Amino acid sequence: MDFRLSPEERLILETVRTFVQAELMPLEQELQAAELEGRGQDYPDQATLRGLQLKARDLGLWGLQTPEEYGGVGLGTQLTVLATMELFRCLVPFQFGGAADNILFACDAEQRKEYLLPTIEGERRSCFALTEPTAGSDATNIRMQAVQDGTDWVLTGEKVFITGGNEADFAIVFAVTDRAKGAKGGITAFLVDRAMGFTSRYIPTMGSWGPARLTFNGVRVPGRNVLGEVGKGFELAMRWIVNGRVIIPARAVGRSQRLLEMGVDYARQRVAFGRPIGDNQAIQWMLADSEVEIEAARWLTLHAAWLQDEGIDNRHEASIAKLHGAQTANRVADRVMQIHGGMGYTKELPIERVLRDVRVFRIYEGTDEIQKRTIARDLLRGTHGHGRWE
């Protein structure tokens, strides 16, 4: 493995760092004020975020993983992971524009015009609708039915905890088209416009993540809206999820690094019993443990990203990175709150908000327990373990 960056890659990463520092960091105080006023979930508003995306576009930060033929930068996974770490050092929620769900690139020519290209341009918004009330970690257990009626399909069922489901004007929906074939051949992906009849309802959570419950009561979908092939939907779903298991730990590293910096600064400044609290071994150990865990998460994530760029099956390594990264973010947030004492527990500082937000890292895109199951099964099968260097 060689993680050295080319001059062009270094320039891209420096551009991301400069943009975050100049455009996003100044908004943190306003976000904290909005949080104190009870409107934190509505800040920044969509107009502000769109304006920032267009500013970033002028700098060449548009569609980081979107292929160049679609107007994106076409970065590999490794550089995308590094850019994500930089982006998530800022506590303002923001994503660069020009992106589309990776599985939308499976669209045919007509679907590209109607769904993919408008999504890349920000004219349409999608959501990934797989999870159901009885199918979370066990994605093979989905119950939503898609029954063929002539050239159409009729979808009936519910999806829950769908990120962006309240804002999306179309959903990538996974439904059972042939239960006898099981997950590998009986699940199909559909592109479903909101205008076709599905409804959404906001699900309140402990953090700023506001997912949706989607309801489909006999929603009629044209056959031309099948994404990919009939019966091949589960493969698309897994392609989406594995990519997320590399990006989430990158987000966790960025958040953790920022929190650790806050902890170090406070340990230097806060004086108790006549000296900075950073002189105390208890504080030093919390800082040291956090630094070690963050560095481990960083390299685990880069390794999983490198394997993906090399075209090597990285599901095992992605599970390790996701598990360790998610747990690290939670432990670091808890330690930094402890270092700040009572102030860390108040809404005057962003620590309690970050602690609430990073908790979901251990749940979505596969819970900690699912990652452990994946890792253990690979070990027991003898397909992975004891270090793997391709």
In this predicted structure, what is the pLDDT of residue 388? 57
Which tokens in the block code for residue 360?
A: 């979901």
- Three-state secondary-structure class, residue 237: helix
Domain boundaries, the chain: 7-99, 126-231, 235-381
Is 68 a known active-site residue? no
Q: Which fold has domain 126-231?
A: Butyryl-CoA Dehydrogenase, subunit A; domain 2 (2.40.110)
pLDDT of 135: 85
pLDDT under 50: residue ranges of the chain = none
At 305 the pLDDT is 95
Catalytic pick among 35, 293, 317, 365:
365
DSSP state of 189: E
Question: How far is 35 from 353, CA to CA, in rounded Å?
Answer: 9
pTM of the model: 0.92
pLDDT, one tens digit per residue, over 143-178 is 999 999 999 999 999 999 999 999 999 999 999 999
Nearest alpha carbon to residue 90 among 126, 54, 60, 56 = 56
Contact (Cβ atoms closer than 8 angstroms) between residue 188 and residue 226 = yes
Tokens of 298: 């960083």
Q: Residue 63: its pLDDT value, please?
A: 94
301-335: b or e for each residue (b if 16 or more CB lie within 10 Å)?
Answer: bbbbbbbbbeeeebbbbbbbbbbbbbbbbbbbbbb
Which pLDDT score is estimated for 386? Answer: 60
Q: Is the peptide bond prior to 204 cis by the omega test (within 30 degrees of 0)?
A: no
What share of the chain has pLDDT > 90, as a percent? 84
The helix (H) or strand (E) run that includes residue 154 is strand 152-162
User: How far is it, in rounded angstroms, from Cα 51 to Cα 54?
Assistant: 5
| Tally of residues, the chain | 390
- Which pLDDT score, from 0 to 100, does residue 18 have? 96
For residue 157, what pLDDT is reported?
Answer: 96
Instruction: Taking the CA atoms of 262, 268, 274 and 277 in sequence, report the sign of the dihedral they define.
Output: positive
Domain 7-99 in CATH 1.10.540.10? The answer is: yes
Domain 235-381 has what CATH class?
A: mainly alpha
